[in-house]
Chain A
Amino acid sequence: MNDGPFDVIISTDRTLMSNHHGKEFLGFMTTSPPIAVPERLWMAIAAPKVNVDKLGRPLEAPYGLRKIEAALVDAGIRAAVIDPDHLKRHLKVAKVLAIGHHDYFALGPPSSEWWVLTGKEPVNSKSFRNFIQKPEIRSAKRKGLKIIVGGPAAWQWLWMPDSFEKWGIDTIVEGEADKLVVKLVEDAFSGKPLPIYVRAGLGDSPRLEEIPLIRHASVNGLVEIMRGCPRGCKFCSVNLKPLRCYTLDMIEKELQVNASEGVRRCLLHAEDVLLYGADGIKPRPEPLMSLHNMVKKYFSDVCWSHVSLSAIKYAEESSSLITHLSELLLPRESDMLGVEVGIETGSVRLARRLMPSKAAPYSIESWPEVVRDAFAIMHEAKIIPAATIIIGFPEESSEDVMRTIELVEDLREFRSLIVPMYFVPLGALKNKEWYRAQPSEEQMELMKVCLMHDITWINRISNWYLSDMSPLAKILLRSVIFFLRKIAEWYNLIEKGNS
């Protein structure tokens, strides 16, 4: 391992430079303002500091930052991911600071939703502001440091020109940066002018063999198995990326990196894990069983980032694949697996307009049935979906919201969490009072129905999810859950004692 000095420092603020106690889902707490506990305690629960080596390099770092690090090091550039608390000595010599983030300004869901509902700024944007204003970054900037910002939330800078200028950002990179970042850094080194903004086109997306493989451990053992998504939903930018499936060999190399650096779990990441090696949008048993058998050689604790509900239904109905995967991944009675899924809407009308391929290979007209069937399959297979619903699409009518309420009520018997994401139209951001835009009566009702669903299940799910956490963390988290239940009871959202 190169022990420096480093010409390029890659970093981000604490809300992302954390392993969230090994619980990826706790990371979502950073999208909210603190609830019931002081901010410092909230951050300690949601985003504790990571262990670092003697140079301040985190032992686990966000996967996206690890990819950028790998791309630069592969190109012969001295680069390293550095923890935000250890930047000072490195920025005295570095020429470039590369920053990635999921939600720089808390404008994306669910941060914007929390902001709307509470009127309080979420901790992620506050944490980023504290990061970018660090004296060591300001001092290095005055001495000529180039600052490049990217990641999934890069688009937010286009809405924040004042912050862009105030903090001396040199370049915004939007889209896949694996290839672009090398050229930008080389241009910075040679004194060539940097673009203010770069957006990757299709030609900038690396071909499969050009995708760099991480050189050091990722947070919670996250390993990418695919890029892109074939479903083409209108509200999602992922479908703009070409679809690429990693080879088993590529995946195994990254698993080995994580295992050799002491990570004890694996999170397989794709927009739809079940489409790994698929026949179009139809999951195939062979590649998925091969993948999971290989992963189990390295890790007993395996989970998925995202799956689609239609793939769950098709995989089980065509080949009992979900049952087989559950038997492989969850051998003990107490084992469970959490995964994010997208319901988005219960309205067939809206689904047809915004996500016409979401139900494929089933017809979009059967979307509510696909959702119900997939939830039933996952319940049996001990897979716990954390499902998103999007509220407030510009095309949404009261009738659409009512259909979604009906669907959520139908799902009450299935072990799951349902999270409404409040869609904040970006046009509203021009208005500085945008966060005061309040949901409609029906939208509030839907949020209540989701809250009732979650409160029904949260104790049972948290018993499993928190089982291997420290007693202190368990007490803190149970206190937050208890407080939320009391709020719900106070507002008559649930009956007293409902569990």
Chain B
Amino acid sequence: MASRGLFIRINSLKNGNPSKERLDTITNLINGYDQVIINSDDKNVHKMFEILRQITFRNVTAALSLYFGKVTCPEGYDSAVVDL
């Protein structure tokens, strides 16, 4: 079966911890895919690492990559925009 890819653009990175609802939303999104690329134009390492920790603790099995800008949605990938 062909692997499924998802490209997520983080639209806005808010102050404070991401809410459980938002983490649930992104985790549920990721769980449907084998390859996930997350792209955040906001280069906030502290914030993004915290989000990655939260996501990876939730037993996500997809391959995950995080970029700070510079990448576009690869051909054949679904895309989504989320606020965190």
Contacts and interface: CB of A to CB of B under 8 A. Distances in A.
Given A193-B71, A197-B66, A202-B34, A158 B61 contact: no
Interface stretch (A159-167, A249-257, A452-460): A159-167
B45 A196 contact: yes
A135 interface: no
B57 to A, nearest CB: 9
Interface string B31-70: 0001101000000011011001100100001111111111
B67 A201 contact: no
A203 B64 contact: no
Given A158-B53, A159-B53, A203-B34, A198 B65 contact: yes
B19 interface: no
Prevailing SS type, chain A contact patch: helix
A366 B37 CA distance: 45
Interface string A446-473: 0000000000000000000000000000
A201 B52 contact: no
A165 B64 contact: no
A331 interface: no
B23 to A, nearest CB: 15
A280 B52 CA distance: 34
A201 B45 contact: no
A174 B3 CA distance: 20
A159 B69 CA distance: 22
B35 A203 contact: yes
B7 to A, nearest CB: 13
A200 interface: yes
Contacts of B49: 157-159, 161, 164, 197
A201 B34 contact: yes
A201 B46 contact: no
Nearest to B64: A199
Interface residues of B, number: 22
**Secondary structure type dominating chain B contacts:** mixed
A192 to B, nearest CB: 9
B45 A165 contact: yes
B27 to A, nearest CB: 14
A164 B48 CA distance: 12
B65 A197 contact: yes
Contacts of B48: 196
A195 B63 contact: no
B70 A193 contact: yes
A158 B52 contact: yes
Given A164-B45, A193-B70, A196-B66, A202 B61 contact: yes
Nearest to B36: A201
A203 B63 contact: yes
A240 interface: yes
Given A161-B49, A199-B56, A201-B35, A193 B62 contact: no
B63 A200 contact: yes
A261 interface: no
Nearest to A160: B49
For A174, A198, A200, A201, the residue with the greatest tally of chain B CB atoms inside 10 Å of its CB is A201
Given A196-B67, A202-B61, 13 more contacts: A155-B56, A159-B49, A161-B45, A193-B67, A193-B69, A195-B66, A196-B66, A198-B63, A198-B64, A198-B65, A198-B66, A199-B63, A201-B61
